[in-house]
Structure 1
Amino acid sequence: MSGTILVEACVDSIESALAAARGGAHRVELCANLIEGGTTPSAGTLAVCRSQLDVSIFVLVRPRGGDFLYTAAELAVMLEDIRRAKEAGVQGIVTGVLRADGDIDADRTRELIAAARPLQVTFHRAFDVCRDAGRALETLIALGVERVLTSGQAATAPEGAETIAELVRQAAGRIAILPGGGITEDNVATLVRATGVSEVHLTGAVTHQSGMTFRAPEVTIGNAAPRSEYEWSVTDAERIRRVVAMLGNPIQAP
């Protein structure tokens, strides 16, 4: 491992964002609803994060969970979310669109990129469900995307390490490869050595227990709650701190 590795924390609440900053994360990807893979955060969350964080903020623009094949109305929502994120003063946008055939929708992605400029753009893990990773990478390079978030088209980045390394070689400095998915303090150093990446993406989350003393365990809020209403995931500052310390000294994130 040579040089310092940038650590991006993926967060879906103000408390997680603050914990990531305390832990020394160089950048946060601000989302909502990570239980569905992440959706666009609320205007309130974005505003408070901007006022309380000193680290770079990249905002996820994804109008819903599920696939990445969007209607014209959904695209209009994404464009409006980008406009509002820019007004809030963030440093980057994280987004992406696919076609029904599994290729990147270059036309719609280009439209989102144009709306996002001059901010940086990360293409999110829609990349991991593209039918041809190599071709998708070249499309993103041609579109001018700064980085792609990927698990190497595997369930986790450690499992996809070989593909991630291949993508780093193919990119040859033309686009940053940002591994994400299943990265922890226990595997991050091995992953960085195996792939040659210069940035990593993780939640650093632990389970937070509710302070509620009265509980109604027979009630769940939502269609299919996977866990109790009285616990949820939140980024842990110490887990982020361990990763940052393991990978090098603090650096200035773009």
Structure 2
Amino acid sequence: MTSVEICLDDLAGVRVAEEAGADRVELCAALAEGGITPSIGTVGGALRAALRIGIQVLIRQRPGDFVYDEDELQAMVDDIHSMRALPNPSGVTLGFVLGALRADGRINADATRRLVAACGEAPVTFHKAFDQLPDRAAALEQLVDLGVSRVLTSAGASSALEGADGLARLVEQAGDRIAVLAGGGIRPANAAELVERSGVREVHLRAPLTVATVAAGAPTAYDHGSREVTSGDVVRAVVDAVSGAGAGAAPTAAGERLA
């Protein structure tokens, strides 16, 4: 069985994704700028809304690179602690999505270890900063040693489908030690092919739908007249597409249940 994770920054999308059959969401803010940490109120709202679906929270203090100074790193640690303390009425899986690099392009092991420690028993995903690394095979081993649960990647390619061969190599290397979460350009039309070619058991995508904003009047710098929400139809189509695909693939990373 292939699990589906939906990346979103609209709070209503948590219920939409759950009702459409997704397994997890990655909750972000400001996806138009690549995504940053959502507010604690947004995370609290997502935990109240979720009945089954796992909530993965992006921990990224600002847009731009993934090289953080001490103040930024401490802010991210504080965010993790604050979010872990929130009420979780349905007891859904709360996890975190993070990544820290050094100026020379390698994983910042000290920063990553500190962030992972702040997460406690919560599952940790190392995000697509992984694709900037020159030696992803070595980096995968480092992430295993650091206690990371999964890595989000297209194997350095511009899309997951283009990186299918590289993803297959990562899946084989990972075994059941760490999950490989494929992300990048995944749509209903190509999701099953990607799973079959790469052997991944987890896919990650946005499912955007553009809708008109409610307020009347001419567009402004703050209200362009439309916004993006999560499309239940797209989520459902991907869930259906990958259902049964890659049935012989490796199991999810040891110690973590599917949401």
Shared fold (TM-score greater than 0.5)? yes
Instruction: Give the equivalent residue in structure 2 for 1:224.
Output: none
Paired residues, what number? 241
TM-score, normalized by length of structure 2? 0.89
1:195 aligns with 2:198: yes
Residues 154-209 of structure 1: per-residue CA shift (max 9 Å, x gap):
22211221211111111122110000111110110000001001111111112222
Deviations 1:215-235 (A, max 9, x none): 13xx424xxxxxx72222221
In the other structure, the counterpart of 1:253 is 258
CA distance in 2, matches of 1:130, 1:29: 22
For residue 94 of structure 1, give the secondary structure of its aligned residue in structure 2.
strand
> Are 1:97 and 1:109, in contact at CA under 8 Å, matched by a contact in 2?
yes
Matched, 1:145 2:148: yes
In the alignment, which of 164, 173, 176 is matched to residue 173 of structure 1? 176
> Residue 6 of structure 1: CA displacement?
0.6
* CA distance in structure 2 between the aligned counterparts of 1:167 and 1:234, rounded to whole angstroms: 32
Aligned to 1:50: 47
Contact 2:14/2:49, CA 8 A, preserved across alignment: no
Q: Distance in 2 between matches of 1:244 and 1:73?
A: 40
In structure 1, the partner of 2:210 is 207
Report if aligned partners of 1:13, 1:45 keep a CA contact under 8 Å in 2. no
User: What residue ranges of structure 1 are gaps of 5+ in the alignment?
Assistant: 222-227
Determine the structure 1 residue equivalent to 2:248.
Answer: none
| Partner residue, 1:225 | none
Q: Does 1:154 pair with 2:149?
A: no
Q: CA-to-partner distance for each residue in 1:27-84, whole Å, 9 max, x for gaps?
A: 1111111112211011111111111111111111000111000010000110001001
Question: Who is 1:240 aligned against?
Answer: 235
TM-score (norm 1): 0.90
> 1:5 aligned to 2, 13, 21, which one?
2
**Counterpart amino acid of 2:56?**
F
The runs of 5 or more residues in structure 2 that have no matched partner are: 245-256
What CA distance in whole angstroms lies between the structure 2 residues aligned with 1:102 and 1:83?
27
1:14 equivalent to 2:11? Answer yes
Counterpart position of 1:66: 64
What is the Cα deviation at residue 246 of structure 1? 2.2
Percent of aligned pairs with the same residue?
Answer: 44
Q: Give the counterpart letter for 1:199 in structure 2.
A: E
Q: Give SS of 1:232's match.
A: strand
